[in-house]
Amino acid sequence: MASDHLDTTFVSVPTAASHDGIVSGRGSIAEEDTRHSVAAEPPMAVVADTEILADAPWELTTAGCADIISNYTAVKDWRLAQRLRGVPYSEYAAALSEMTAEMLVDAAPSIKPGLEESSWLVVKALVSSGVAMSIAGSSRPASGAEHLFSHRLDRIAPGAALHGHQVGVGTIMMEFLHSGEKGGWRDIKAALSTIEAPTTARQLGIDPEDVVEALTTAHEVRDRYTILGSGMSESAARDVAERTGVI
């Protein structure tokens, strides 16, 4: 955002592969009880030293992986918003975003602590996700209801868990809402478990009731149409959280 305001360029030098903001053309800004995605300047280059990234705390890398895996449901929300609300949609940006999520899920068994190869794979996916947002001119390719859920948790239980980890748990539930019992939520949950990312409220260090509250109020965070629509009832929120094993 500083680069955008100053009308200049910058080089992104990530020291941890913890989220796809390392190459995003958007900024997520808090304002009272809501968040806004605003224009920012994407970096002219990214310098990512995989040795440094591999030495970063493992939980930061798993948070980055979960943030990428969340692209699955973000793109589904984007398509839904395009069909129901006429939101501008980019097939290319959506395909790139989905590809990064699939790459991480498929590669989950080989992503391990301390391996430069793992860091290279994760940062490559994070950069691709950021590029997808730049192509779209929106955070839509990588931010849907699962991010609204995470943003609401930030207010209900501030500092309890990392953004990527909260988003990952949200993705499990949002995939269930999109595709039902036989959908791909189990594959998402298995991939997150494989890389040692949280899949339950307990693992996040969050009270189960906070998860239910976040689900029922997440739609209020941002003016963005998602699978949550105009909100979930408490009973429906509790049901999806229980059926996916989040609580």
Domain 2-243 has CATH 1.10.490.10: no
Amino acid 30: pLDDT: 73
pLDDT of residue 32: 67
Distance CA 43, CA 10 (A): 5
From the number of C-beta atoms within 10 Å of its C-beta (0-12, 13-18, 19+), residue 180 rates as exposed
Q: Decide: 224 and 178 in contact? Cβ < 8 Å.
A: no
Specify whether the CB–CB gap between 157 and 61 falls below 8 A: no
Which residues does 35 contact at the CB level (< 8 Å), separation at least 6?
28, 29, 151, 221, 222
pLDDT for residue 28:
74
Residue 42 has what DSSP assignment?
Answer: P
* Residue-level pLDDT at 72: 95
Per-residue pLDDT of the chain (247 residues; tens, 9 = 90+): 888 889 999 999 999 988 878 887 777 777 765 566 777 888 899 999 999 999 999 999 999 999 999 999 999 999 999 999 999 999 999 999 999 999 999 999 999 998 999 999 999 999 999 899 989 988 899 999 999 999 999 999 998 999 999 999 999 999 999 999 888 999 999 999 999 999 999 999 999 999 999 999 999 988 899 999 999 999 999 999 999 999 9
Dist. CA 62–CA 64, nearest whole Å: 5
Neighbours of 158 (CB within 10 A): 7
The type of residue at 91 is E
Per-domain boundaries in the chain: 2-243
pLDDT given for residue 35 in this prediction: 63
Provide the H-helix boundaries in the chain.
2-6, 50-55, 58-69, 71-85, 91-107, 116-136, 145-156, 163-179, 185-194, 201-204, 208-217, 234-243
CB 127 within 8 A of CB 46: yes
pTM (2 d.p.): 0.90
